[in-house]
Amino acid sequence: MKGIHLIIAVLALSLFGIVASEFGLFSGLSLETQRVIGLTEVGANMAIAIYGAVAFHRIAWSAYLVLSVAGFVLVSVSTPIVALFLVSKVLHGPA
């Protein structure tokens, strides 16, 4: 897998997280099912970041991994891109 494929995978995970939260795609599911979906997304993001840190640009992907962990712990989001979206949404208020 090339580095660009990892970036595309991260962007796809981020888009999935943003669309799912904005349109309430999983609001009808049980809380446990929502938790499993969210943790699967976080796990996939962490796996991508670890693979990127081991196989490609160590510093860039390691920094992404740190940002991912910080975003998950502090804001409970799956990717740093989703964290930026959430912060901008909070700062600018509802559209």
How confident is the model at residue 65, as a pLDDT?
Answer: 95
Angle at the Cα of 8 from the Cα atoms of 5 and 87, rounded to 5 degrees = 145
For the chain, what are the domain ranges?
3-92
Per-residue pLDDT tens digits for 27-63: 899 999 999 999 999 999 999 999 999 988 889 999 9
Going by pLDDT thresholds of 50, 70 and 90, the confidence category of residue 73 is very high
pLDDT of residue 93: 77
What does each C-alpha distance from 81 to 33, 35, 45, 48, 87 come to in angstroms? 23, 19, 11, 14, 10
Note the pLDDT of residue 56.
85
Nearest residue to 14 (alpha-carbon basis) of 74, 66, 73, 64? 64
pLDDT-derived band at 95, boundaries 50, 70, 90: low
